[in-house]
Every structure is written in C-alpha cells, then in structure tokens.
C-alpha cells in the first residue's frame, strides 16, 4: 500500500512537471513571436533617435527628455532580448578568459548607472582569477543582471562588495565570485521562487532575468546560489569550475 501511494504521488508530480513544461514551451513560442514583432520597429526607432541626437541642438530640458526616451527604449529592448533568450537560448561562444576581466568590463559598462543609483562598488581581489573556458558576453549578462537587481533593491543608495577567490580542491577546483549588497534582503517565501521564470516582485519586470542568469551559469557547468536575510542584504555566489591546467 505504501509503495502504491508513493508511486501515485510520483506520478502526480511527474504529470505536474510535464504540464508545466508544456506551458513554458507554449509561452516561449508566444514570447519569441511577440519579441520578433516588436524588435523590428524598435530597431528603427533606435536608429532614428541616434540620428536625431547627432543632428539636433537641444537645450537642457530637451536633453533631459531625450535621455528619458533613450533609457525607456533601452529598457524595452532589454525586455525583448530577455524574451528572445528565454525562447531560444543562444549557444555559448567559449573563450579562454579570466572571469575577473568580465567583472571589470561589467563595472565599466555600468559606471554611470551605478552613479545614478548612488551605489558604491568595492572589488576584493588578491589577484585576477585564472583564465578558463567561458563565454564572456553571456557571463557579463549574468553580472549585469545581478548588479542592476541589487541597485534597484537599494532605493536610497548603498554598496555592493564583489569578492573573488579560488578554491584549490584536488578533484574539482573552482572560482568563486560573490556579489553582496546592503539592500533590504529577500524573504524566504520569495527566495524559494527567485529563479522561476516569470516570477517577479517588480511592477515593470519580466521575471526572466534571474532564470536566464541561472541557465547561463549552469551551461558553464557552474552554480548560482543566493543567501539572504530580511534587513541584512543579499549575496549571490557564482561558482565556476577550474580545469587543472587553467588553475595551475
């Protein structure tokens, strides 16, 4: 009787997972179709805006309006890109690169954005992490997502500490990158759903950023973990495997 009950329970769970997978596949197809339809006119708007910016002489108020329009288009483009990546994940383009270099590139890219959020970033690094086989552009997307999420969580400003270290284990050495913020933290109920597609606590979010980040890290044979307590900040830890040759 116990075996039969267990088998029935496992069957129900399998059925639920299958239904969920079918729903996600349908949503993915719908998302890809909508994203492609939006992207073409959005690209045209971006090009015309760029052309206008070079040819017009704007006063301070007009420049501010122009900046807002540009930022909103960038936000819309990010949403479209998220839907496309969720529906059709791009293949990794592996290169021999140090993750430390990707961290530096990300911070350079987000320099003005960090200032606008009044967020200070500190990098704790004794020496650059070893070069390993990674897709730097995809990994940069992970860092951008985590840092922007942290900035948005710290509405009154704050700080982010990025700590890098190597774990020289004999069998499976690893590179660790921790991103810790001084934000409000994440409740346990939300933390359990954090990496689920389309789950978001933001009014304008798609809920795809963290699920895409998790997929990218896992495609690198790594792990993405989160630890957080309410009112005590949040830490995301990226663990990437080091090959013996790269580690040496």
* Whether residue 106 sits in one domain with residue 36: no
Domain of 183, CATH number, reads 3.30.565.10
Torsion 209-160-128-238 (CA) sign: negative
Tens of pLDDT along 186-243?
A: 888 888 888 877 677 776 666 778 888 888 999 899 999 999 887 889 999 999 998 7
Residue whose C-alpha is closest to residue 201's, from 228, 224, 219, 176: 228
Same domain as 103, residue 56: no
Q: What's the predicted TM-score (pTM) here? A: 0.67
Residue with tokens 């597609």: 197
CATH code, domain with 54: 1.10.287
Instruction: Name the strands in the sheet holding 174-181, side by side, starting at the edge strand that comes first in the sequence.
Output: 119-124, 158-167, 174-181, 234-241, 223-228
Per-residue model confidence as pLDDT tens digits over 83-105:
777 666 778 889 999 999 999 99
The count of structural domains within the chain is 2
Radius of gyration of the chain measured on its C-alpha atoms: 21
DSSP 41-56: HHHHHHHHHHHHHHH-
């Amino acid at each position: 009787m116990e075996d039969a009950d267990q088998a029935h329970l496992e069957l129900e769970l399998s059925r639920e997972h299958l239904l969920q997978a079918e729903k996600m596949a349908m949503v993915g197809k719908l998302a890809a179709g909508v994203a492609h339809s939006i992207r073409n006119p959005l690209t045209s708007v971006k090009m015309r805006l760029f052309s206008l910016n070079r040819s017009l002489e704007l006063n301070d108020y007009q420049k501010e309006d122009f900046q807002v329009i540009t930022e909103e288009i960038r936000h819309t483009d990010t949403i479209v890109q998220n839907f496309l990546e969720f529906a059709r994940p791009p293949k990794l383009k592996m290169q021999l690169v140090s993750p430390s270099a990707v961290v530096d590139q990300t911070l350079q890219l987000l320099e003005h954005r960090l200032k606008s959020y009044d967020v200070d970033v500190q990098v704790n690094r004794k020496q650059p992490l070893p070069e390993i086989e990674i897709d730097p552009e995809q990994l940069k997307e992970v860092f951008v997502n985590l840092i922007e999420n942290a900035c948005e969580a710290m509405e009154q400003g704050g700080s982010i500490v990025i700590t890098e270290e190597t774990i020289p284990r004999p069998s499976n050495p690893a590179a660790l990158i921790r991103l810790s913020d001084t934000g409000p933290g994440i409740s346990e109920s939300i933390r359990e759903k954090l990496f689920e597609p389309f789950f978001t606590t933001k009014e304008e979010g798609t809920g795809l950023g963290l699920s895409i980040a998790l997929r990218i890290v896992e495609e690198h044979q790594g792990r993405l973990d989160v630890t957080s307590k309410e009112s005590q900040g949040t830490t995301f830890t990226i663990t990437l495997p080091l090959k013996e040759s790269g580690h040496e």
